[in-house]
A = this chain, B = another copy of it.
Amino acid sequence: MARKLQVAVSGLGRMGARHARHFLERTPRAELVAAFDPNPAAIAWAKQHLEPYGVKLYTDFDEMLKHPGLEAVVVAGITTEHASQSISAIQAGKHVLCEKPLSTSVEISQKVLDAANLKPHLKVLCGFSRRFDASYRNAWERMDAGGIGRPAIIRSQTCDKYRDDNYFVEYAAHSGGIFVDANIHDIDLAFWFFGQDSVVKSVVATGINARYAGMAKHGDVDNGVAIVEFWGGKIAYFYSSRMMMAGQTDTTEIIGTHGKLTINANPANDLVEMHEPTGIRREITETYYDRFEQAFVRESNEFTECVLDGKKLPFKLSGAVQAVKIGSALRESLQTGKKIDFDENGAQIVDERARL
């Protein structure tokens, strides 16, 4: 009988619980053997939904790492634990699939990369889910085959459906800000489509609080706009928002010298259209997960396959550090109101006059 990867999930919050179910039910070559969460409510949920299927539950992360036969850990708890848990797991010899971002800090993100580099036989993946989405992959392959000439401009946005409650304000306290939290996906896409070795030339960002005034106290905005230039004549520009009325609206355009590809320019929840007295209407996906569920499942399966079959991961961990670097620079630009320039090695150019 074919052997299955022995996997544990750390963190059983909203996204962690989904990862747990993906490995339990929708990743045929993996076996979910353990799960960790310090939160009693999460454990209660797990007793009902995971334990009956043979999953051992832990309230101590380090104990879970010692679970017999454990091979891989999915780090999916709160962002502030991503880096430390990933490093512990790596040091314990486990393969790691860590939710994005590794950290909201460039330095801490780098430490995860350093730890991984010391264990080159381990697979360490940062979960940029769009990398596993069928549409983004289709677009990338078309671009890679020359279908749009040389890619030159990327427009990409990550826009959440509004919420009537205080969620986004509270979330802003720890999210790292809208550019690190939301546009990090778009930044990662820029590296994917422009090439992982692209070197940033400048960043500039601005934003407003149009609907959730409370975000200001966390130095965050509910709508952000940014431009990132890369050396070699490439530009990415981004938009992020927390107040879309219709639903999650994540759209990307890849504009090349000889064509353009769009991904999700026309969002839809399914294939139903309604003809009503007010016109023709369709609904769109509410949340990020509604949009990317299949991508998350493919992520689980491909991570499993890479470990079991010794295959290369589809993208490098170093990109996750680069993305945080850009996201952090955008946050700095938002807060200072200054454009930030970088030299051809990607080192930030400090305006000497600013020190006067």
Residues of A within 8 A of B (CB): 1-2, 24-26, 28, 52-54, 134-135, 138-139, 142, 147-148, 150, 152-153, 155, 202, 204, 206-211, 223, 225, 227, 229, 233-235, 237, 239, 241, 243-247, 249, 255, 257-267, 269-284, 337-339, 341, 353-354, 356
Contact = CB atoms under 8 A, between A and B. Distances in A.
Contact of A260 (B207, B237, B270, B275): B275
Nearest to A294: B294
12 contacts: A1-B52, A1-B53, A25-B28, A138-B272, A225-B235, A241-B255, A246-B260, A246-B280, A259-B275, A261-B272, A281-B281, A339-B339
Does more than half of chain A's interface fall in helix, strand or loop, or is it mixed? mixed
Nearest to A25: B28
A7 to B, nearest CB: 15
Given A245-B258, A259-B274, 14 more contacts: A139-B272, A142-B274, A153-B225, A153-B241, A204-B204, A208-B235, A210-B257, A225-B237, A237-B239, A246-B260, A249-B275, A261-B273, A337-B341, A339-B339
Contacts of A26: 26, 28
- Tallying the copies of this chain within the complex gives 4
Q: Which residue of A25, A237, A273, A353 has the most chain B CB atoms within 10 A of its CB atom? A: A273
